[in-house]
Structure 1
């Protein structure tokens, strides 16, 4: 299980995070891989944040010069020598790795290594990938949780290595269902009754007979969505469910790809006219940045906003202001602060 930050580049809904997770799942021959993050406002419980604090402490007073091998910038802060820039960046990365390698967290050593981007196994071209058909059978997504699990088909997945399936017979972890004691026995409250939400353990959850416990509002779902009791996205649940197979996915973008699979495989030429319409483009509240063909969009979920990187083709940009320039544009200027300026006193001498 991986615990990750909830930022737009790291959260379990981001397609590149899912692609890398599938790569690790396949390469390491794992029976199951889970990627989880905390909901916004719960940073105090974020394991990643708590691990970064002692690492940040190791950097106190450390200065990483940007021009160790010579300046790669012109007078306006624009890159004029990409190879020299890479060498300077590598030196800074190796220095950082040396500092962190000396740290000990909870009596465990820290392993830090600078990876040259060109030889990284996580480059898009180097990732082990699968098609949407495999994705449908092995991946389950939700707002804050990603599951990738082997199937029992030996022609598809390698033999099982652990006892995971003895504990979770249905392969995927079930959705968290709160329970409360009533005069009629144990019942699951309605999703809107958040003050009654008390979530039992996984093992208790697996022993429940949900058919007799679920509220009427939940019985409308043929397959319970994992986010059934996630308060921030109640208004989005139905929009994220496939109308053909009733699979729940974590975003409209994923649903669009999933529906395309049905159109290509399950529906004949005569049925395409009756197929469910493609999900509409996502309408964000604001577009904050642009990166290649991706846009960082702020999406509203009730009173909460979430920032996500989305393909430009999946975003409804009508009458919206899109920031000019790419954040990866090397011609963009960056402020240059010399060591002397950094160490200079910010106070002025008022003596006369």
Structure 2
């Protein structure tokens, strides 16, 4: 036996009205009677609801209050948990946000389009478009920081005599 979309059809009641079979609204259901699985599987009717796909727990009384929270208001997809629905809304329907540029205490180095920034939280690679003062940064190479001293000049005094 093949199940459509590889998912079990949700349990729902079936009533007859005006000579044809209908599925009552989940808010009007008596929470007692449901159509058997084979009948639900064979009949080409689906519950009419606000969801794109019929949720398996549409007629479950314990989650009835959470159905709207578990459904995406934009695209109508139903999720099994409120957390997954919120993650979907953030990922799929995120609005253009205005990002504030980060002002690090120090910019350590650069690679491609990223800057290694030092802040109170530690070191972090950030996109150079998100860092304030990224245009003013010039990389200081190690040969500029550490002087190279030969053996002949190692014991010379670093001080100069004034005349």
The bucket for the TM-score relative to the shorter chain is 0.3 to 0.5
Higher RCO structure, 1 or 2 (CA under 8 Å, sep 6+): 1
More helix, by proportion: 1
Q: State the TM-score, normalizing by the size of structure 2.
A: 0.47
Calculate the TM-score normalised by the size of structure 1: 0.24
The structure having more radius of gyration, on CA atoms, is 2
